[in-house]
Chain A
Amino acid sequence: MTKQKSWSVSHLPLIKPIGIASLLFLYLPLFTVLIFSFNRSEDATTWGGFSTRWYSTILDNTDLIRSAKVSLSIAIPCAIIAALIATGLAVGIGRATGKVQNFLRALVNAPLVLPEIVTAVGTLALFSLVGLPLRYSSLLFAHIVMCVPFAFLPIRSRLRDFDENIFEAARDLGASSTRVMMKITVPLLVPALLSSGLLSFIISMDDFLTSLFVSGPETTTLPIYIFGLLKLGASPEVNVIAALLLIIPTLGLLVGITWTATRRRSNEARNK
């Protein structure tokens, strides 16, 4: 090996080819769905030329629209409530490292690590034990619990970014903890609250398994409806629905990323 040649990744065996291959593996199926959603053919998997005809048919699908409305009516309140609960947890718990607080925090975050089917079954069992009927509110409760640990992440990481001296100075100057929260913490957390709410919104919109267990006949969410369609196999209409499920969150994510990137850049510029 020549010494002058600067060191690079390619010196490690297999790293580069596997890395590139795994990105291709991640995107090949997504692009397939995207391309075949513009397929003219009646057959979902045989290419018959470009067309947007199947996109117009899904607007006539009343079951799809109805289930989308159910999902939105859960996801919007769920996002707001989960973000607020998660903020409360992050703010109130502060830097506490006591055993009790650690246990409670672990409990709240448990849905992140437990298999979803266990929490779903547990929630169903609990609701049946206390006699809560499987309607809108039961589904909303279940979604909030699932979203809080995710909503907690951006709030927590934003709080860690701040200089703690700001808060301590305020306390030393005689501000009560409520005043610190209202005048300092909450204003600083506004951007994090937005991403926390957005995260919860996406998770609630996407959830299938928990919803399957705790939804009643009137609360068929979008994923439950789509699962029913998928059980029947591939069709041109499902191609379009799946393509929309790819496009919408990806666009949202990209807009969010560019927004935070420009914000960060303008903040850095201002600080200089």
Chain B
Amino acid sequence: MKPRSTTEKEPGIYGPGLVSLPAYITGILLVGLPLIVVIVFSFLQRGEFGSGVIHKFTLDAYRTVFYETDLMGNQSLNFSFLKIILRSILLAFTVTIICLIVGIPTAIWIALQKKTTQRILIVLVTIPFWINVLARTYAWMLLLADGGLFNQFGAPVLLYTSWATFIGLTYAFLPFMVLPIYASAEKLDKNILEAAFDLGASGWRVLIRIVIPMIRFGIFAGIAIVFIPALGAYVQPSLLGGNKSMLIGSLINDQFGESRNWPVGSALAVLLLAMTGVILLATRRRKLEFV
């Protein structure tokens, strides 16, 4: 085994460890603590005047999300919230699938170009990411509106439908899918692909048996960073989707705003957090996996 120098594993190699302290403090106070507060709030009572909470333990918030109580006091499943949650999951799932179908070929295509071309194409994929999400969403309002460009060419008006939300989200998250897959595809050894072709494998076979397994970590990363923000999206659904098909992001916003029920809003945020955790666990690198 290679001997290790004493400083290698110590924090102090680039400077004193103490300079990390401000980051740790912001991390604990402004990332960790807010998450804990949301979880705590979800178990508290609704504030008297709507905003805020009363510091008494109750499961009311979760009960409101899952059940409804009728006038006779009978509890039954509350489909209005469940429907919104399921709709959000379904939409995020569809967006992720389409991003995969478009993103995987795009990333492979870029990775198999010459180095300079690769660099230019990656910049082109990255530019939309740096443009304000409102501007990008507005672009689709122009295209999909009644009397908008697509409509002028005879396409049906999709603005203020779930289709528009779906298109807007796919558009917003496609670069998120391409970039991590490109990062793994870039390391592909072209000789292996060439060898497979020479030995008589068809294009599809090379793609499915060689390329896809070799870039699978990029694909997992892409799935996570598309699915998670798509699940909690707020901007595209509220600008493109109209009011008919509410999603969990707008529902949370609504509970903290107009409906003024912070515990229910917090409970929904906790559910979103839990789903995020599940996705992260499901897509993390598995060391024991082999091709």
Chain A residues in the interface with B (C-beta under 8 A): 1, 3, 7-9, 11-16, 18-23, 25-30, 32-33, 36, 43-46, 84-97, 101, 104, 107-108, 110-111, 113-119, 121-126, 128-129, 141-142, 144-145, 148, 159, 164, 167-168, 171, 177-178, 180-182, 185-186, 202, 205-206, 208-209, 212-213, 223, 226-227, 230-231, 233-234, 238-239, 241-243, 245-246, 249-250, 253, 257
| A128 to B: closest C-beta gap in Å | 6
Of B24, B134, B197, B252, the residue contacting A208 (CB under 8 A) is B134
- Quick check: B134 and A227 within 8 Å, CB to CB? yes
For residue A243, which residues in chain B have a CB less than 8 angstroms away from its CB?
135
Question: B22 near A: Cβ within 8 Å?
Answer: yes
Q: A19-B106, A185-B15 are in contact. Are A213 and B128 (CB under 8 A)?
A: no
Looking at the assembled complex, report how far the CB atom of B249 sits from the nearest CB atom of chain A, in whole angstroms: 5
Separation of A96 and B16 alpha carbons in the complex (Å): 12
- Partner among A19, A119, A233 whose Cβ is within 8 Å of the Cβ of B31: A119
Contact check, A230 vs B19: say whether CB atoms are below 8 A apart.
no
Give Cα distance in the complex from A227 to B234, angstroms.
Answer: 11
Q: List 18 A-B contacts (CB under 8 A).
A: A12-B211, A18-B102, A20-B109, A22-B105, A26-B171, A32-B143, A45-B148, A88-B23, A89-B23, A94-B13, A94-B14, A110-B32, A121-B252, A142-B30, A168-B5, A178-B16, A241-B135, A249-B131
Since A85-B22, A125-B37, A168-B7 are in contact, a sample of 15 more A-B pairs with Cβ atoms closer than 8 Å, ordered by chain A residue number, is A8-B112, A15-B105, A18-B109, A84-B22, A88-B21, A92-B23, A125-B41, A141-B30, A142-B30, A148-B23, A168-B13, A180-B15, A181-B15, A230-B239, A245-B131
**B142 and A32: CB pair below 8 A?**
yes
> With A88-B20, A125-B262, A245-B132 given, is the CB distance from A26 to B175 under 8 Å?
yes
Q: How large is the interface on B (under 10, 10 to 19, 20 to 34, 35 or more residues)?
A: 35 or more
Residues of B within 8 A of A11 (CB): 197, 203, 206
Least CB distance, B113 to chain A, in whole angstroms: 7
Kindly count the residue-residue contacts between A and B in the assembled complex, taking CB atoms under 8 Å apart. Answer: 322
The answer to whether residues A245 and B103 also contact, given A117-B252, A148-B23 and a CB cut-off of 8 A, is no
State A250–B127 Cα separation when bound (angstroms). Answer: 6
Q: How far is the CB of A138 from chain B (nearest CB, A)?
A: 11
Most buried by A among B10, B23, B135: B23
Q: Report how far A94 CA is from B164 CA in the complex, Å.
A: 46
Q: Is the CB of A96 within 8 A of B11?
A: yes
Which A-B residue pairs are the 6 nearest by beta carbons?
A: A181-B15, A115-B232, A122-B34, A92-B20, A19-B109, A29-B139
CA A90 to CA B13, docked complex, whole Å = 11
Q: Is B253 interfacial (CB-CB < 8 Å)?
A: yes
Contact of B152 among A1, A45, A111 (CB under 8 A): A45
Given contacts A33-B138, A104-B27, contact A257 B123 (CB under 8 A): yes
Residues of A within 8 A of B143 (CB): 28-29, 32
Q: Are B140 and A29 in contact (CB under 8 A)?
A: yes
Chain A residues contacting B135 (CB-CB under 8 Å) are 33, 241-243, 245-246
Asked if B38 and A253 make an inter-chain contact with CB atoms under 8 angstroms apart, the answer reads no
With an 8 A cutoff between CB atoms, is B183 at the interface? no
Does B154 have its Cβ within 8 Å of any Cβ on chain A?
no
Interface of A is mostly: helix
> Complex Cα distance A25/B130, Å?
16
**B207 interface neighbour in A12, A180, A242, A253, Cβ under 8 Å:** A12
B23–A108 contact, CB under 8 A? yes
Partner of B235 from A8, A46, A209 at Cβ < 8 Å: A209
Q: Say how far A166's CB is from chain B's closest CB, in angstroms.
A: 10
User: What is the chain A residue whose CB lies nearest that of B28?
Assistant: A107
In the complex, A164→B14 CA distance in Å?
9
Whole-angstrom CA separation of A26 from B128 in the bound complex: 7
B211 touches A118 (CB 8 A): no
Asked whether, in the complex, the Cβ of A114 is within 8 Å of the Cβ of B8, the reply is: no
User: Does B103 lie within 8 Å of A231, measured CB to CB?
Assistant: no
State whether A177 and B16 are in contact (beta carbons under 8 Å apart), knowing that A9-B113, A11-B203, A253-B127 are contacts in the complex.
Answer: yes
The residue from B41, B112, B142 contacting A33, defined by CB atoms under 8 A apart: B142
Distance in angstroms between the alpha carbons of A213 and B260 in the assembled complex:
13
Name A19's closest neighbour in chain B (CB-CB). Answer: B109
Instruction: Give chain B interface residues in 27-65, CB to chain A under 8 Å.
Output: 27-28, 30-35, 37-38, 41, 51-52
A234 & B15 in contact (Cβ 8 Å cutoff): no
Nearest A residue to B99, CB-CB: A22
Write out the residue numbers on chain A whose beta carbons fall within 8 Å of the beta carbon of B252: 117, 121
Q: Which one of B66-74, B75-83, B268-276 is at the A interface?
A: B268-276
Which of A25, A32, A86, A88 has most B Cβ within 10 Å? A88
Contact A29 B171 (CB under 8 A): yes
Closest to B30 in A: A145
B167-178 near A? 1/0 per residue, CB < 8 Å: 000010011001
Partner pick for A113 among B23, B133, B280, CB 8 A cutoff: B280
A91 to B21, CA, bound (A): 11
Which residue in B5, B18, B109, B253 is a CB contact (below 8 Å) of A16? B109
Any A CB within 8 A of the CB of B194 = yes
Q: Is the CB of A253 within 8 A of B130?
A: yes
Chain B neighbourhood of A86, CB < 8 A: 23
